[in-house]
Amino acid sequence: MAQYTQRPMRFPENIFQTIFEQLLPTGCIVCQKFQKYSICNYCLDIVSNEGIFNYQSCDQCGLALRPEEMALQCCASCQLSNPYFDETYCLDRYTGILQVPLHEFKYQKRIAFGCALSDVWNKLLSWQLKDIDASYLLPVPLSTQKLAQRGFNQSWEIAKRIHCGRHIQKSPYMLWRHHYSEHQAGSNLENRYLSTRGMFYVQPKHIEQLQNKTVIVFDDVMTSGATLNEIARILKDNGVSRVINWVLLRAVRPI
């Protein structure tokens, strides 16, 4: 059985979680088996062994590399059209066992699933990223209308519970999103790039803070990369020097 790093819990947010874990059995977010933790060791092992973070991935966009791409550590797509973001770290593939828990969290509003997904990230990936040199961690924003509709921003709910170096400041207020009625689902790659154009903006009072800084952007799902690319473009337009993506689930190749 693999051993997972358990970092010190923060008071008081997690003290209740600790108490409940001791007192009550809980269902694993993947297999629903009742046990002590939000994800059982069996399911955690599956992500640990098969998670996309284990694979040789494109440094820039996080896609698992094909053999012919390994020498450059860069996928064919990034070689062809260099994205604005500089690095991408992903936990697992979109088609892996965390997809259903993410949907339960996002669409059925089961907040405990979001906490559990942060736990999985913390157990498997946080230790690898703890020394990363960055100043801010920003979630991909929802528009105000979408936020009102859903009641929470799934990326922020996960990101705020992720363990990272104390030098990194988390904020859901720096980056904002306009509301557009067009939906991304079903549109082709070119349309996705066009539909994300101009969708995001930096809150003016925060622009100065971002000058020459490295910023991490957290997204729950990365598919074509169009959204994260547009965010990186806007951040760099506003003086950010480097943009790193942290992604929970990554589509294996652009749809």
Interface residues with Zn ion (CB under 5 A)? 28, 30-31, 40, 43, 58, 60-61, 75, 78
Considering the complex, what minimum distance in angstroms separates the CB of residue 49 from Zn ion? 14
Considering the complex, what minimum distance in angstroms separates the CB of residue 193 from Zn ion? 15
Q: Which is nearer to Zn ion, 26 or 238 (CB)?
A: 26
Strands 200-202 and 175-177: antiparallel
Q: Which is nearer to Zn ion, 97 or 164 (CB)?
A: 97
Considering the complex, what minimum distance in angstroms separates the CB of residue 28 from Zn ion? 3
d(CA 249, CA 155) in angstroms, rounded, equals: 11
Q: Which is nearer to Zn ion, 28 or 142 (CB)?
A: 28
Q: Which is nearer to Zn ion, 80 or 148 (CB)?
A: 80
Are residues 84 and 233 in contact, defined by beta-carbon separation less than 8 angstroms? yes
- The continuous run of DSSP H or E covering 136 comes out as strand 136-139
d(CA 250, CA 118) in angstroms, rounded, equals: 16
Considering the complex, what minimum distance in angstroms separates the CB of residue 200 from Zn ion? 21
CA neighbor of 86 nearest in space, from 217, 221, 219, 253: 217
CA angle 220, 97, 83 (to 5 degrees): 35
